[in-house]
Amino acid sequence: MKAVLLAAGIGKRCYPLTLTRPKPLLRLANTTILEHNLKEFADLFDELIIIIGYKGDMIRKLLGDKIHGTKIKYVEQLEQLGTGHAVLQAKEHVKGSFVVCGADDLFFRQDVKDLLKNKGSAVMCHDMEWPESFGVIVEEKGVLKQIVEKPEKFISHQVNTGMYLLQESIFPILESTEKSMRGEFEITDAINQLAAKEQVKVTRADKWLPIGYPWHLLDANKLLLEGMKEDISGKVEKNVTIKGMVKIGKGTVIKAGSYIEGPAIIGENCELGPNCYIRPFTAIGNKCRIGLSEVKNSILMDNVTSKHFAYIGESIIAEGVNIGAGTVIADLRHDNTNVQSFYDEKLVDTNRRKFGAVIADNVKLAIHTSIYPGRKIWPGKFTRPGDIVKSDLL
């Protein structure tokens, strides 16, 4: 059986991180979303068909033609016209049963295996606290009746994960499906038509995690770190305190006086300390330099530098960012309400009481920069000494 992974979209809701990489290559727990999924899919499929488009060459370069012993075929979606249109690009490459899923959400092995137990077609659902943000599953005795996109009234906590077991008979339906209200060809419209004609089973995912906005990376990072095994391959000097499950990569040096609370992961060829404080659920990438700074529940990608008296809390810091001395990223509002962040000129509730900043590639923060909670900084931007970032820096 083959799996079709949809990886062509732009991922605008994850700006500014996706201005410089496709969304499936966003990092968490020192891996990409796509690499995590392909590890979970190992040995379950004969071939992986990845539909690429936006910055697709970055995916090709990372994965090559094979991963975990499974062949990869790349198919380009020249225009991003929706999920249904993306699946149609695989028509000439699949026969019989096949699996479809988005490449930018987190899936887990046992859930995929449960889906594959079905005969015929099936959809995978998951219970969510805020179902109104998703396609909601309407079922009867385990059989799909309808997928309702973002219903205004409560229907169910069961939402569509975007993973389907389908047959090649779906392609004529996709070809006849009209554009949705959003102006796209939607796979869910075709699934609804299929469910009206034949039985489509519903299976439940235990651990699926959607990545809609940047702050969802912190939830996914936490989940992966909780399942991590300890592995200290780097050098740890005397008078370093390590508590809990911590993974330290080769070539990394943790200098005296540093205090690390797991679960946490630190990549290869890093230099931490002396006297840094790394708090739980932090992922630090490769070739990072963290001096006398505090990092809490954050994702730092490769080549991040924070040498002097900085505080990084509940934040996502992309590659090549330099954080000047005395920089503080605030992650809590004084009124204790949820942090909000702008998307498409509208404030979006992060549903997080604590959330810091999203800082894109190659940003330079000058000394004593202060950043309000929920703010974003676009690639290559910089601040001046003493700047206060009250709004997104575009």
Which residues are catalytically annotated? Answer: 308
Residue 235 has a CB neighbour count (10 Å cut-off) of 13
Residue whose tokens read 């991922």: 11
Contact 1, 99 (CB under 8 A): yes
Contact 37, 133 (CB under 8 A): no
- Residue 227's region, left for phi above 0, alpha for psi from -120 to 50, else beta, is alpha
84: which DSSP letter? H
Contact 249, 266 (CB under 8 A): yes
Q: How far apart are CA 282 and CA 313, in angstroms?
A: 9
Three-state DSSP at 114 gives: helix
Q: Cβ neighbours of residue 101 under 8 Å, at least 6 residues apart?
A: 3, 4, 5, 6, 37, 107, 161, 162, 163, 164
Q: How far apart are CA 236 and CA 224, in angstroms?
A: 24
Positive or negative torsion for Cα 227, 231, 234, 240: positive
Positive or negative torsion for Cα 90, 91, 92, 97: positive
